[in-house]
Structure 1
Amino acid sequence: MITTRPAIAIRSLRRIPYHRFHSSVPRLTTDFAFVFDIDGVLIRGKKPILQAKPALELLNQHKVPYILMTNGGGVLEKTKADEVNEITGVVPPISPLQVVQSHTPIKALALNHGFNRVLVIGGDGDNARTVAGTYGFTDIIMPIDIVNAIPSVSPHHRFTAEDFAKYAKPIDLTKPVDAILVLNDPRDMNTDIQIVQDLLNSQNGLIGTARNTHHIRDLSEPSIPIIFSNNDYLYANDYNLPRFGQGAFRIITEKLYKMTNKLKKHQTLQSFILGKPFKIQYDFAHHVLIDWRHKLINDEIMSHHQILPKLGVEPVETPFKKIYMVGDNPASDIKGANDNGWESVLLKTGVYKDADYDTMVAKPTVGIFNNVEDAVIKILESHNVKV
């Protein structure tokens, strides 16, 4: 369930016609587009899925718009695009403006967030701080900053002296934290669990304090909002079994919060969740896809400018009759596409296994394919595109 704290509730949910963003959009010969998951579809960990390169280059050849949408993150969109380009070798290379990571919609949130200080969680080194800064936040702290200032806050932390010297920043502990942004899977789970729980139960986000709960009517509402950038419990890499993702961290966070505040059985921590399969992520990706189509039409694929909608705005006047979501995870890729009116395509190169078919939460509308190239060819042929 997605819940929002009033301070961060998305208020601009009214539908806004796309011509508000582009007054005149020439028509392409195609009225369909593709959205690809990354891990388990194009790559597995740091290894390529061999059919990814010919599949994407086939779309490039026919100028069919496509973007990548992943529940991964923790790095800049350019970094992710560069990684996929290097691993797959696709030509021409994928643009950063074609990449929607789980936390990419926070770009839009940052425009009107009203937060002064944010705590960012997840990713390697200080990547999360870099990402948040690029999005527009100016006062950004990380758990390592707090541990550096107060080592006893996490007595079993795994940070080294080199980590502190390289990544930690001095912080003013008297300034409260306004929100927690979980941008990627935690790297020091114990430290992040402890600090997140401290702040959720603090006195208005002030580090080292505990709120007085006697006069709080609804204890499911934390002291400060927490935003999880995705809810994936499992994901695929180059290991032969799925690995735990950020969704596992959310489950732990909710369970500990429930126990700490003695919430009733039906109550849970109020949080805000981005990523697949939620509508807010698909609406945002739809806008990005429309914007990329516009760039294809006008030969602006080298542009660094991207038109961002307000978070929660659904495109109304879309040029696409069909959008094909190609993924490997029934619980995120397939369910999200089905719930949001997109066509769904399931691949066998990632999380999904044939043994899962009878129990998976959502079935693909197009079908199940051995790999991404097979899927792309079949769909192009259905649209009378010669391949």
Structure 2
Amino acid sequence: MNAVRRFHLRSPWSSRFPYSQLRAARRLKSDFAFVFDIDGVLIRGKKPIAEARSALESLNKNKIPYILMTNGGGVLEREKANEVTRITNCSKINPLQVVQSHTPMKALTRDKKFQRVLVVGGDGDNSRQVAYEYGFKDVVMPIDIVKANKSVSPHCMYTTHDFELYAKPVDLDKPIDAILVFNDPRDMSSDIQIVQDLLNSQNGVCGTKRSIKSVADPTEPSIPILFSNNDYVYANDFPLPRFGQGAFRIITETLYNHTNKLEPSQNLQSLIMGKPFKLQYDFAHHVLIDWNEKISSGDTESQQILPYLGEVPEQTPFKKIYMVGDNPESDIKGAHDHGWESVLLRTGVYKDEDWDDIIARPSVGVFDNVEDAVKHVLRANGVSA
């Protein structure tokens, strides 16, 4: 899973532009860029943060490259781009500017080990459709398993309407290759039970259980599990933060460790993606490089050039990348770990009373809103806001 192939960014310049035009175009490229979190930075729930539109339009006007990187997900990147565009009322955001927590999972479709997957989280069967678009061949969701055998989750919250609308026929005797947690679970009880069943199954077959005594390394589950992010809490319209996918991970690990009688020093083996992990920041860096090429050439409709999972950019046109977020644990720490600049806002999870206890402090500063932050950075880089 960690093995990667070398990735070489293929420049589209040479075949389309004379040398003089190429030189002129390159002079237009910015040597700094922005990466924005979404929830708590540009929007809160389904409502806009007032200053988001002017901040993004200022960057568009000055041709400063930026992308959006969120630990949210459960929908296609184009749907998230359209949602943020609609809520903020800004110029259209391109889907190629969006990195959701599960976006790097596209790379897994190149591995034959990941043909049939259980996808967890998201509304309805949106996550299933995302997984199919990414290229996974056979996608199962917990609702499929519950409909096939309701005793799997006797206290499930699914309605008859849910089963009719979202469930698909499933062969419970066919092994599942991996568990992909795309988004926060919607029926926590069912998802907890089904995930635990599969982690402790005989080779990923529902309704079976492996013998603990026959397992060489009890920290290794029967099939791999990948969490698309580790956000313990997130901000929405409610005045206090709400539990996120990170809370589901804690529950999953605790139950697995207890079931397998692990020592305190042992823990379930899993891959955790999303912010603040390096894998996610490296992937976003590739996306930012690709987007910079596209806006510099004026060709924002060409195919996106993406890396393999875990691949580090060999070269970058950026002297500085500014991560703008509201969560010190994911946005700010991740930026520091990756060598980016960091900007913290007061419009989301972070509160000033938390300052003494936050895990990482911003390198640029704390600002009341995203517009103030963008103006400050632009001025610092000699660009008129």
Task: Name the TM-score class by shorter chain.
Answer: over 0.9
How far did residue 173 of structure 1 move?
1.5
**Is 2:11 aligned against 1:12?**
no
Alignment partner, residue 61 of structure 1: 61
Give the TM-score normalised by the residue count of structure 1. 0.95
How far did residue 30 of structure 1 move?
1.8
Amino acid in structure 1 at the alignment position of 2:154: P
Alignment partner, residue 203 of structure 1: 202
Amino acid in structure 2 at the alignment position of 1:367: G
Q: Give SS of 1:316's match.
A: coil
Q: Is the contact made by 2:175 and 2:203 (CA closer than 8 Å) also made in structure 1?
A: yes
From 322, 325, 346, the counterpart of 1:324: 322
Alignment partner, residue 334 of structure 1: 332
Q: Give SS of 1:105's match.
A: helix
Q: Give SS of 2:304's match.
A: coil
Amino acid in structure 2 at the alignment position of 1:102: S
Q: Give SS of 2:214's match.
A: coil
How far did residue 31 of structure 1 move?
0.3
Alignment partner, residue 17 of structure 2: none
- RMSD (CA atoms): 1.3
Q: CA offsets per residue over residues 253-309 of structure 1, 9 Å max, x none?
A: 0000011000001000000011000000000000000110111011112x1621111
Alignment partner, residue 152 of structure 2: 153
**Is 2:308 aligned against 1:310?**
yes
How far did residue 112 of structure 1 move?
2.7
How far did residue 113 of structure 1 move?
4.9
Amino acid in structure 1 at the alignment position of 2:238: Y
Alignment partner, residue 19 of structure 2: none
- Structure 1 residues 19 and 162, CA gap change in structure 2 (3 angstroms): closer
Q: Give SS of 1:83's match.
A: helix
Alignment partner, residue 104 of structure 2: 105
Q: Structure 2 CA distance, aligned partners of 1:159 and 1:129?
A: 17
How far did residue 171 of structure 1 move?
1.1
Structure 1 spans left out of the alignment, 5+ residues? 1-8
Higher RCO (C-alpha 8 Å, min separation 6): 1
Amino acid in structure 2 at the alignment position of 1:51: E
Taking the TM superposition and a 5 Å limit, the aligned residue runs for 1:1-387 are: 9-12=1-4, 16=7, 18-19=8-9, 27=26, 28-91=28-91, 93-301=92-300, 303=301, 305-387=303-385
- Structure 1 residues 68 and 113, CA gap change in structure 2 (3 angstroms): farther
Q: Is the contact made by 1:97 and 1:304 (CA closer than 8 Å) also made in structure 2?
A: no
Q: Is the contact made by 1:13 and 1:314 (CA closer than 8 Å) also made in structure 2?
A: no
How far did residue 85 of structure 1 move?
0.6
Q: Structure 1 CA distance, aligned partners of 2:147 and 2:71?
A: 30
Q: Give SS of 2:229's match.
A: coil
How far did residue 215 of structure 1 move?
2.1
Q: Is the contact made by 1:118 and 1:141 (CA closer than 8 Å) also made in structure 2?
A: yes
Amino acid in structure 1 at the alignment position of 2:128: R
Seq. identity, %: 66
How far did residue 109 of structure 1 move?
2.0
Q: Structure 2 CA distance, aligned partners of 1:294 and 1:255?
A: 45
Amino acid in structure 1 at the alignment position of 2:156: H
Q: Give SS of 1:181's match.
A: strand
How far did residue 114 of structure 1 move?
2.6
- Structure 1 residues 21 and 183, CA gap change in structure 2 (3 angstroms): farther
Q: Is the contact made by 2:9 and 2:305 (CA closer than 8 Å) also made in structure 1?
A: no
Amino acid in structure 1 at the alignment position of 2:64: V
Q: Is the contact made by 1:34 and 1:326 (CA closer than 8 Å) also made in structure 2?
A: yes
How far did residue 243 of structure 1 move?
0.4
Q: Structure 1 CA distance, aligned partners of 2:108 and 2:286?
A: 15
Q: Give SS of 2:119's match.
A: strand
Q: CA offsets per residue over residues 10-62 of structure 1, 9 Å max, x none?
A: 11276x5x545667685234200000000000000001000000000000000
Q: Is the contact made by 2:13 and 2:297 (CA closer than 8 Å) also made in structure 1?
A: no
Q: Structure 1 CA distance, aligned partners of 2:139 and 2:380?
A: 49
Q: Is the contact made by 2:29 and 2:296 (CA closer than 8 Å) also made in structure 1?
A: no
- Structure 1 residues 160 and 326, CA gap change in structure 2 (3 angstroms): same
Q: Is the contact made by 2:235 and 2:348 (CA closer than 8 Å) also made in structure 1?
A: yes
